[in-house]
Structure formats: structure tokens, C-alpha cells
């Protein structure tokens, strides 16, 4: 192995100009000698991992040779004097996939060596080595690392980090313009101008806008009016191509530069633009830039947050894009690839080429729609996937030495609908930036002009209703519909969207989407109708996981009536504006796909509640369960008062007891009770009657009436609760106690409430006062039924009187239980033991426990401990100290064992009442309950 000093290397190569391929190999061998590394011939005589002239296939269909290749380290390409090393780099981008996509791409003309990083999910970096840096600098060290430790070149920054920094800086410019121009300019015009600035930054860093023309203009520090006129001239040149001073500007247009508009007046944005220009805009990640920008820019961020305009990561987007859009194409590609390879081996190259061309044309003809596209991140990711697939086809044709197959996948296949002005503009630019980046990164940088084409198929309108006509907006005919429509609960539609909009929406979709359904359901119904009308083939949409139950589930039931669900993620954690929510992802078609996958497992069928087992969506409401379960009251105003105030009013006038009641909500059940009271004048009480209770009425005048007026409430009887639930009151009026449960809770917990109390609408009331009924509700059969029939909020299951309770078949129809039956008595006894145990634990003697320890004694903590015991301790080595430490001392092992025993005893008693075995699985219990439900429903 020869050795060269840095001085010897520089002296030799400073006099030699690269002319012949053999000279390139001599130079490369000298580089090896300079850093003390074996040459390719010495290290790998067979040319298996380190060789000159490695055989490659260029994606555009030509055979190529990499001048030097070192497996999993680098590809090295030489160019002669006065030849562009940028073109050499473009060649490497074409070679890289067929040579294992190594971490480094290196170009050289012997006087200069440029190392380009090629690591996944990192910002691209370059390191330039000259003869000077080899003689006196870090040149030798960089070369040694390239051969021996290429991983040391991996940049620390990710595209996400660069994008976030770039977005924050650019938003300063956008906010200046927005505040300055918002009263003078139409928002769409201003958004169009802002996006132009953004694109200029990107285009010049990608090399599309020559000689940093935009940044040069910004850095000239021109007077405001001169800068404005110069910017108009630049936009005019980009509109049709032309000269901007001495610089020839390519033809861009595409609708983005459809005129030379610059606002007549500009705030002082030059300092911020200079800062922004220092970022590397070629590395921004379009899948998140638009959303970051949109979130900060939007005039009403709070409303956009509520409507679900949030960052969706590329990985999450791919979860939908892959099974819904790409998997059918990939399945077909596997067949096409094998057939083409076989035809070529048999000497039928023309047939193989025809087959590949036809499939390439099919990929380029796929049309996709995101009907709530936001800033375009779903569209961008989908386009890149289609481009990657077509590149595989092009590369295979080259490997099989067939004629060139052109790159034809492009933004014209992308369709979108978006109502927000800024997001609509950003969606178009997100798609274009992603497309141009992909071409540059994959060796297709050369483009015909105009560089941009109009994307009029990304429309600016409401996707679910045209308020001018009252009709449904037309969606374009496409192959696949996907996206992340806005999350907005059915109960908040009027508050957020207004009565006029909601009334029109209800009328338009009457009979198709229940009025209680979340906003996202309208997108599901529109997509379903498109597939039924054969204007789309497949759809994949996101929703909160409440799509699985209640009124929301009706749209999935309609999907299954006219087609089927072939893929779903039933319950996936999601981050929405910093808070965790749980979402469902649903892929559906006309029923043509015969396989189904639920939560990454192949299943026989996916039910409309996004399960693959017992189909509880068949369960019917049972007449025998009606008029038992009710929602609590909705005061709609500050009627609640502290206990001290209530006691004071009692002393003042004992009659006040008639309109003051203990009041609690779901949190009072799961946590320590607040001991709040509520002013309640009942149902239909006149103002004159209410005035008889002076202190309570005066309080309502001072507190409730102004609050109602501020909220522009339409309730005329402001002294009464908005929804006083007369049916519920009538059902419990003769009961000394009744059963309650939180609407949303981590655990399905039931407790007793005294008959004089009142609960809020986040709590459900059961008009029964017997231990037997309490026991059945708190048993395993009812718990597993409630978990499957209900929906959930984040990680907390939601209970409903309709789908959950009214469908549940009790051992005997309510009211017809044989009171003297030993099985009924056994349930009642276990239920009373459960209530007694919990009451004692929640309320120990005052001298037995301190206030801090008492504060931890909540039913949530108790059932957390029970869950931990069952999962980690039950049936294993008994470790009392370990358990007590694990639950922060709130309960001992012996006590939790007692609670577990009582629950087991109760479960067995209820199963005995049904006549079922004690060892049934949850699924077997659900099967039996469904059968009993259908039998009772007739």
C-alpha cells in the first residue's frame, strides 16, 4: 500500500488536469495513499464491495457507471476541468438507489472534492475539500472520515427542525404584512402575496431562481418604494420568464405568478426578510411547513384549533395513504415486475416494455382528493409516494435494458378542497415544493418551462355545503379520497358555526347524517356517496374515536350498507394542540376488496363500531329498559353555590331548603366531592313564585341573569335551568336514593346519590334504589358491554343511556326480577358489600388519617390500584410492601385483595343469574349478551 504526504499529493495534482478516465483512477488511488487506505484493487480484487466503474442503472433509463463505489460508504463521480460538479452530483442522485443508497455522494475534478451527505431524515450538507485544505486544513481528515467513518458526517439537524425554525422566522414577515394590510387587502390577495415570498426563498435555495436573485434584492437595502417596484419587476420576470437586471429568470407562473402584484404600501419587512434568507429553504419539509405557518398566521387560531387544523406527522399520514392509496398499486406492481422480468429473460423485451409503460401510465393517471386539505400535507405525502413508485418502474426498465420510460407523475393528479384562504394558498405551494424537492433529490432536476403549472383543481370553497345555493358542492371525480376532516363535536356545531349554517346543513343531509353527529361525519357521508355513485373507488378518513358509537356510527353503518370497511385503526393516540386525543382511521370502498385489516391484524370483517368480533351494532334498543336512565340537568349559568352560602340561607329562612339541593358532577364521583349546592327553582316555576325565596332569587338576578345576557341566551325564563330534565325528576321523585355514573370516566363506576340531590349533564341517573340493580350495573357483563357500546374521550370511556344502557339485556327485564330468588339476593348482597367497603375506605375516621392522605382517597385511585393489583400482583409472589409503595400508600395489599374478592363475588353472582359459566371470556360474554338482546327485541 503506497503512501503520500499531503505536500506530495498537492504538488502532484496542482499540475495535472483531469482528462482521461485512467487519470481519475490514478487520482482516486492517490487519495487512498494520502489517507493510508487500500486501493479498490488491493482491498477487493473481485470488485464485490469496493471498485471502480460500478455498473448502475439510471432511473431515466440509461446504463451508467459510477467512477468509484464503496459499499455502504460512498459513490464517487469525476468530471473534467471546467465541467459542472453539480451535474456530477445529479448523476450520483441517479445512481444512488441501484448502489444501495450510501450515506455519502462525492464529486471531484481532482482540484476540488465535494462530499454531499445522503442520510435519511436529515438536512443535506456539503463539505468542500480543495488542494489548499489538503495542504493546510481539514481536507485529509475529511477524506479519512469518508473512507473509514462515513456516519460521522450525519447532520444533527432534521428537516423538521429546520422547517420549524424557518417557519417561525417567516411568520414574523407574514404577521407584519397581515397586521399592516388586513384592513386594506382581501385576505386571499394578501395570502397569495405572502406565499409568493415563501416560494422565492425556496426556489433560489433549490437553484431554480438563479444567483439568489430574491435574497440579493432584499440585501440591497433599497428604499421602501424602490424595493416594492423591484419586487414587482422580479414577479413580472417570473410570470413569463425574462431578465431581472443581468439575471435571466425562468418562466414560473403556474398561477402563483399570474401577475406582478405587490401591495401599494409595505411595512418595513426588509430586516425580517434578511433574517429569513439566511435559512436553507431547500431543506424545509413541506408536510409540516404549511401547517406550522397556517397555525400561527390564522386570524382566529382558537377556532382553527377547534376545527382540527393541526399538525399531522408524515408517519401518521402514511398510516392512511399506504393501505388506502398505495397498497393496491404496490400489489399490482409486484405482479407487473415479476412478469416483466420473466418476459425479458425469455427475449420478449418489447412486451416487457409495453407492460411497464402501461403500468407507469396507470400510476400517472391516479387522481387523489383531500376534501379538507388544509395546507396540503396529505396531498404532498401522497404525491411523493406515487413518484417513488414510478421511479421504481423507470429503474426496472433501465436494469432490464429497455427503452427509457419518462417521469410523468406530477401535481396535476392532486385535487383538494379547502375553505381557509391561507391554507388554500399554502396547499398549492406545499404540493409544488414537495414535487420540485423530489425531482432534485432523485436526479430529475432538469425541468421544462414553465416550472409551475396551475393547480386550479385545489379549490377554495366549503366542502360539505354551498350556502349560496343550499346544495352539496361538487367533488371532483377521482380514484381515492383521503384526509383529516375537521374535528368538532355535534354539541358544539351551533356555537362554532352559527345557527344559519347548521340549520342549512341539517336540512341538506337530513336522513343521511344524524343531527347529533360530529362535523367530521359529513365528510364520511360525502365520500361514501362518491363511491356509491362510482365517482371514487376508495376512501380513507380520520375522525375522533367517537365515530365508533352513538349518532356518529350511523355514517359507518351507511358505509357498510353500500360498500365495506377494509382497513381501520380503531383507537389511536393523537396530539391535538398539545393535548392527547384518540382517533379512528377508516378505509372503505364499494366492497370489492376481499381482505380486511383492523389495528394491523388481518380479520374476517370490520364492523361499523370498528371491531372484528361480536357485532354489537346489531343490538336493538329494548323497550323494557326505557325510562330508567337519564342525563342530569344543564343549568347554563352560575347557579352553583358553596356550602357556607347554603347554610347561611337555611338559617335566614328555612323555606330556602325547598330550592337548594346538593349538586355534583362526574368528577365529584371519581374524585373527592366538592360539597357544592345548587339553586333549583324546579320545572315551570314562574318568576313570581321564584321571588318568594329572596336570597336565592337575588343571587340569580345578580349572577345568572347577566351571564345569560352576556351569552346572548335565547332562554326567556332566566331563573330556571336551561334543561331541567322533568322526566328524570319525575322518575326519582319518590326515591330516597338513586344510582349515578359519570358520562366520561376512566373506569365505569356507579355510586348512590341521595334523593334530594341533583346531578349535572355530565352524569347519568338511574331511577332505581335497589342493591340488585346497582350490582348488575357494576358487574363485568355490564362493564364489557358498556366499553364496547360506548365511545371514548381520550383514554376515558363514554357512557350513553341510549346505545349503552337501553340495549343492555339484564338477567330479568327491569321491574320483573323475582325479588325472593336466591340469585337476586346474592347479587344484592355482593353489591351492598361493595358499597360498604368503598364508603368505609373513602371516609375513614377523622383521627385515623391526615388531610393529605385523605385527598388521595378517590375512586379513580382506588380502581387504579385494583387494576395494578390484577395485572402485576394477583396470583404471583405476595409482596405487601412493594404493592403499597407502588400505589403511594393509599391502600394496603390485604384491602385490595378484599375489594377484588367482592368484585369477583359480584361478577359470579350476576353470571349465575344469567345461567352462564364463571370462566367466560369477555368476547363470549358479549356474544351471549347480544344473543339475549336480539331475543328480547323480538
Among 2-11, 361-370, 427-436, 652-661, top mean pLDDT goes to 361-370
Q: Are residues 276 and 163 in contact, defined by beta-carbon separation less than 8 angstroms?
A: no
Residue 729 has pLDDT above 50, yes or no: yes
Q: What pLDDT was estimated at residue 304? A: 38
pLDDT tier, 866 (very low <50, low <70, confident <90, very high otherwise): very high
Check the CA dihedral 534-540-543-545 and report its sign: positive
- Cβ-based neighbour number of residue 14 at 10 Å: 12
Q: Are residues 67 and 105 in contact, defined by beta-carbon separation less than 8 angstroms?
A: no
How many residues does the structure list for the chain?
Answer: 938
Q: What pLDDT was estimated at residue 62? A: 45
Query: Alpha carbon of 142 to those of 50, 74, 130, 435, 643: distances in Å?
Result: 19, 13, 11, 33, 75
Beta strands in 611-697 (DSSP E): 629-631, 640-641, 660-664, 676-679
- pLDDT, tens digit (0-9, with 9 covering 90-100), for 219-275: 998 898 999 999 999 999 999 999 999 999 999 988 889 899 998 888 888 888 888
- pLDDT, tens digit (0-9, with 9 covering 90-100), for 626-648: 999 999 999 989 999 999 999 99
pLDDT tier, 183 (very low <50, low <70, confident <90, very high otherwise): low
Q: Which cell numbers in the block locate residue 354?
A: 409495453
Q: Which of 78, 13, 2, 75 has the alpha carbon at shortest distance from 35?
A: 2
Helix (H, G, I), strand (E, B) or coil at 729: helix
Calculate Rg over the CA atoms of the chain: 35
- Give the containing element (helix H, strand E) for 386: helix 377-399
pLDDT tier, 793 (very low <50, low <70, confident <90, very high otherwise): low
pLDDT tier, 27 (very low <50, low <70, confident <90, very high otherwise): very high
Q: Which of 216, 348, 374, 359 has the alpha carbon at shortest distance from 287?
A: 374
Mean of pLDDT values over 806-814: 96
Specify the residue for cell string 358491554: 785
* Whole-angstrom distance, CA of residue 124 vs CA of residue 546: 42
* Whole-angstrom distance, CA of residue 140 vs CA of residue 10: 11
| Bridge partners of residue 641, in order along the sequence | 677
Helices (H), 370-519: 377-399, 421-441, 493-497, 499-508
How would you class 79 by CB atoms within 10 Å of its CB: exposed for 0-12, middle for 13-18, buried for 19 or more? buried
Among 76-85, 273-282, 849-858, top mean pLDDT goes to 849-858
pLDDT tier, 6 (very low <50, low <70, confident <90, very high otherwise): very high
Q: Which cell numbers in the block locate residue 734?
A: 319518590
Helix (H, G, I), strand (E, B) or coil at 414: strand
- Give the containing element (helix H, strand E) for 835: helix 822-842
Q: What pLDDT was estimated at residue 21? A: 61
Q: Which of 734, 801, 743, 741 has the alpha carbon at shortest distance from 769?
A: 734
Give me the long-range contacts of 237-246 (CB less than 8 A, separation at least 24).
Answer: 238/200, 238/209, 241/449, 241/450, 244/213
Query: Alpha carbon of 107 to those of 74, 76, 126, 181: distances in Å?
Result: 10, 6, 11, 48
Q: Are residues 238 and 449 in contact, defined by beta-carbon separation less than 8 angstroms?
A: no
Q: Are residues 52 and 28 in contact, defined by beta-carbon separation less than 8 angstroms?
A: yes
Residue 318 has pLDDT above 60, yes or no: yes
pLDDT tier, 350 (very low <50, low <70, confident <90, very high otherwise): very high
pLDDT tier, 578 (very low <50, low <70, confident <90, very high otherwise): low
Q: What pLDDT was estimated at residue 61? A: 43
Q: Which cell numbers in the block locate residue 185?
A: 387587502
* Percent of the chain with pLDDT strictly greater than 90: 63
Q: Which of 307, 233, 316, 215 has the alpha carbon at shortest distance from 270?
A: 215
Q: Are residues 543 and 518 in contact, defined by beta-carbon separation less than 8 angstroms?
A: yes
Helix (H, G, I), strand (E, B) or coil at 36: coil
Q: What pLDDT was estimated at residue 795? A: 61
Q: Are residues 584 and 898 in contact, defined by beta-carbon separation less than 8 angstroms?
A: no
**443 vs 9, which has greater pLDDT?**
9
Residue 299 has pLDDT above 50, yes or no: no
Q: What pLDDT was estimated at residue 100? A: 85
| Bridge partners of residue 418, in order along the sequence | 460
DSSP label at 203? Answer: H
**Across the chain, what does the average pLDDT equal?**
89
Phi/psi of residue 73, each to 5°? -130, -60
Q: What pLDDT was estimated at residue 289? A: 65
Helix (H, G, I), strand (E, B) or coil at 508: helix
- Cβ-based neighbour number of residue 930 at 10 Å: 21
Q: What pLDDT was estimated at residue 22? A: 65
Residue 307 has pLDDT above 50, yes or no: no
Residue 429 has pLDDT above 50, yes or no: yes
Check the CA dihedral 301-302-308-311 and report its sign: positive
**291 vs 412, which has greater pLDDT?**
412
Mean of pLDDT values over 772-779: 98
CA–centroid distance for 496 within its chain: 21
* Whole-angstrom distance, CA of residue 837 vs CA of residue 905: 14
Mean of pLDDT values over 711-730: 86
Contacts of 759 (CB under 8 A, 6+ apart): 632, 633, 663, 664, 665, 740, 753, 765
Q: Are residues 137 and 107 in contact, defined by beta-carbon separation less than 8 angstroms?
A: no
Q: What pLDDT was estimated at residue 207? A: 86
Residue 620 has pLDDT above 80, yes or no: yes
Helix (H, G, I), strand (E, B) or coil at 911: helix
Q: Which of 700, 693, 698, 701 has the alpha carbon at shortest distance from 657?
A: 693
Q: Are residues 487 and 519 in contact, defined by beta-carbon separation less than 8 angstroms?
A: yes
Among 203-217, 445-459, 765-779, top mean pLDDT goes to 765-779
Residue 312 has pLDDT above 80, yes or no: no
Amino acid at each position: 500500500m503506497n503512501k503520500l504526504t499531503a505536500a506530495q499529493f498537492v504538488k502532484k495534482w496542482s499540475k495535472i488536469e483531469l482528462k482521461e478516465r485512467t487519470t481519475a483512477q490514478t487520482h482516486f488511488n492517490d487519495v487512498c495513499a494520502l489517507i493510508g487506505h487500500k486501493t479498490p484493487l488491493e482491498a477487493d480484487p473481485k470488485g464485490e464491495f469496493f471498485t471502480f466503474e460500478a455498473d448502475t442503472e439510471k432511473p431515466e433509463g440509461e446504463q451508467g457507471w459510477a467512477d468509484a463505489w464503496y459499499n455502504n460508504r460512498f459513490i464517487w463521480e469525476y468530471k473534467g476541468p471546467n465541467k459542472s460538479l453539480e451535474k456530477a452530483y445529479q448523476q450520483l442522485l441517479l445512481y444512488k438507489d441501484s448502489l444501495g443508497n450510501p450515506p455519502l455522494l462525492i464529486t471531484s475534478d481532482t482540484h476540488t472534492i465535494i462530499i454531499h451527505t445522503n442520510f435519511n431524515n436529515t438536512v443535506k450538507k456539503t463539505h468542500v475539500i480543495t488542494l489548499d485544505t489538503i495542504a493546510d486544513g481539514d481536507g485529509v481528515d475529511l477524506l479519512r472520515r469518508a473512507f473509514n467513518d462515513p456516519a460521522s458526517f450525519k447532520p444533527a439537524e432534521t428537516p423538521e427542525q429546520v422547517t420549524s425554525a424557518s417557519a417561525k422566522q417567516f411568520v414574523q414577515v407574514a404577521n407584519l404584512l397581515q397586521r399592516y394590510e388586513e384592513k386594506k387587502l382581501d385576505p386571499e390577495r394578501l395570502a397569495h402575496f405572502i406565499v409568493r415570498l415563501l416560494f422565492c426563498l425556496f426556489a433560489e435555495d433549490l437553484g431554480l431562481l438563479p444567483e439568489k436573485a430574491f435574497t440579493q434584492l432584499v440585501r440591497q437595502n433599497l428604499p421602501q418604494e424602490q424595493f416594492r417596484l423591484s419586487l414587482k419587476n422580479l414577479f413580472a420576470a417570473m410570470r413569463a420568464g425574462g431578465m431581472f437586471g443581468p439575471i435571466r429568470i425562468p418562466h414560473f407562473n403556474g398561477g402563483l405568478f399570474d401577475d406582478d402584484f405587490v401591495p401599494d404600501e409595505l411595512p418595513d419587512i426588509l430586516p425580517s426578510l434578511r433574517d429569513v434568507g439566511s435559512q436553507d429553504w431547500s431543506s424545509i419539509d413541506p408536510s409540516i411547513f404549511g401547517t406550522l405557518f397556517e397555525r400561527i398566521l390564522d386570524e382566529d387560531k382558537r377556532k382553527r384549533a377547534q376545527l382540527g387544523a393541526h399538525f399531522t406527522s408524515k408517519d401518521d399520514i402514511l398510516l392512511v395513504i399506504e393501505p388506502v392509496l398505495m397498497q393496491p398499486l404496490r400489489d399490482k406492481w409486484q405482479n407487473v415486475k415479476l412478469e416483466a422480468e420473466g418476459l425479458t429473460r425469455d427475449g420478449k423485451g418489447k412486451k416487457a416494455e409495453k407492460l411497464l409503460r402501461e403500468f407507469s401510465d396507470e400510476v400517472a393517471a391516479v387522481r387523489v382528493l383531500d376534501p379538507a386539505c388544509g395546507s396540503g400535507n396529505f396531498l404532498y405525502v401522497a404525491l411523493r409516494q406515487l413518484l417513488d413508485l414510478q421511479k421504481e418502474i423507470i429503474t426496472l426498465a433501465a436494469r432490464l435494458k429497455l427503452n427509457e420510460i419518462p417521469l410523468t407523475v406530477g401535481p396535476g393528479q392532486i385535487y383538494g378542497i379547502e375553505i381557509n384562504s391561507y391554507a388554500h394558498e399554502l396547499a398549492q405551494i406545499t404540493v409544488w415544493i414537495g414535487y420540485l424537492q423530489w425531482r432534485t433529490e432523485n436526479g430529475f432536476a432538469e425541468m421544462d418551462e414553465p416550472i409551475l403549472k396551475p393547480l386550479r383543481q385545489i379549490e377554495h370553497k366549503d366542502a360539505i355545503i354551498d350556502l349560496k345555493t343550499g346544495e352539496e358542492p361538487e367533488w371532483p371525480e377521482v380514484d381515492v379520497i383521503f384526509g383529516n376532516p375537521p374535528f368538532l363535536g355535534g354539541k358544539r356545531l351551533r356555537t362554532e358555526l352559527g345557527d344559519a349554517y347548521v340549520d342549512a346543513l341539517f336540512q341538506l343531509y337530513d336522513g343521511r347524517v344524524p343531527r347529533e353527529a360530529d362535523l367530521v361525519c359529513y365528510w364520511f357521508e360525502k365520500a361514501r356517496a362518491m363511491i356509491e355513485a362510482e365517482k371514487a373507488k376508495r376512501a380513507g378518513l380520520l375522525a375522533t374515536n367517537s365515530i365508533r358509537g352513538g349518532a356518529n356510527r350511523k355514517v359507518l353503518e351507511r358505509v357498510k350498507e353500500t360498500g365495506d370497511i377494509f382497513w381501520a385503526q380503531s383507537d389511536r393516540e393523537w396530539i391535538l394542540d398539545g393535548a392527547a386525543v384518540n382517533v379512528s382511521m377508516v378505509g372503505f370502498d364499494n366492497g370489492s376488496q376481499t381482505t380486511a385489516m383492523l389495528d394491523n391484524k388481518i380479520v374476517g370483517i370490520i364492523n361499523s363500531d370498528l371491531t372484528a368480533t361480536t357485532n354489537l351494532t346489531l343490538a336493538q334498543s329494548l323497550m323494557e329498559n326505557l325510562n330508567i336512565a337519564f342525563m342530569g340537568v344543564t343549568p347554563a349559568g352560575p347557579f352553583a353555590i358553596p356550602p357556607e352560602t347554603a347554610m347561611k340561607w337555611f338559617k335566614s329562612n328555612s323555606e330556602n331548603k325547598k330550592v337548594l339541593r346538593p349538586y355534583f358532577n362526574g368528577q365529584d364521583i371519581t374524585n373527592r366531592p366538592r360539597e357544592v349546592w345548587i339553586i333549583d327553582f324546579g320545572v315551570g316555576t314562574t318568576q313570581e313564585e321564584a321571588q318568594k325565596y329572596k336570597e336565592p332569587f337575588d343571587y340569580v338576578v345578580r349572577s345568572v341573569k347577566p351571564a345569560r345576557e352576556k351569552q346572548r341566551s335565547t332562554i326567556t325564563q332566566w331563573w330556571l335551568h336551561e334543561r331541567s330534565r322533568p322526566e328524570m325528576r319525575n322518575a326519582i321523585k319518590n326515591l330516597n336514593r338513586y344510582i349515578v355514573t359519570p358520562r366520561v370516566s376512566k373506569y365505569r363506576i356507579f355510586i348512590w346519590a341521595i334523593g334530594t340531590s341533583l346531578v349535572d349533564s355530565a352524569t347519568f341517573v338511574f331511577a332505581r334504589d335497589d342493591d340488585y340493580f346497582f350490582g348488575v350495573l357494576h358487574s363485568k357483563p355490564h362493564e364489557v358491554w358498556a366499553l364496547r357500546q360506548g365511545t371514548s374521550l381520550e383514554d376515558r370511556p363514554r357512557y350513553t343511556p341510549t346505545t349503552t344502557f337501553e340495549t343492555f339485556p339484564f338477567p330479568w327485564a327491569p321491574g320483573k326480577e323475582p325479588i325472593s330468588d336466591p340469585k337476586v339476593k346474592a347479587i344484592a348482597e355482593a353489591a351492598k358489600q361493595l358499597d360498604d367497603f368503598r364508603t368505609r375506605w373513602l371516609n375513614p375516621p377523622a383521627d385515623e388519617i391526615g388531610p393529605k392522605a385523605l385527598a388521595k382517597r378517590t375512586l379513580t385511585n382506588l380502581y387504579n390500584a385494583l387494576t395494578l393489583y390484577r395485572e402485576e400482583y394477583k396470583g404471583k409472589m405476595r409482596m405487601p410492601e412493594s404493592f403499597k409503595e407502588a400505589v403511594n400508600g393509599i391502600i394496603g395489599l390485604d384491602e385490595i385483595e378484599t375489594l377484588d374478592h367482592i368484585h369477583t363475588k359480584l361478577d359470579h353472582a350476576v353470571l349465575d343469574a344469567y345461567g352462564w359459566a364463571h370462566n367466560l371470556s369477555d368476547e363470549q360474554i358479549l356474544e351471549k349478551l347480544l344473543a339475549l338482546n336480539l331475543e328480547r327485541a323480538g
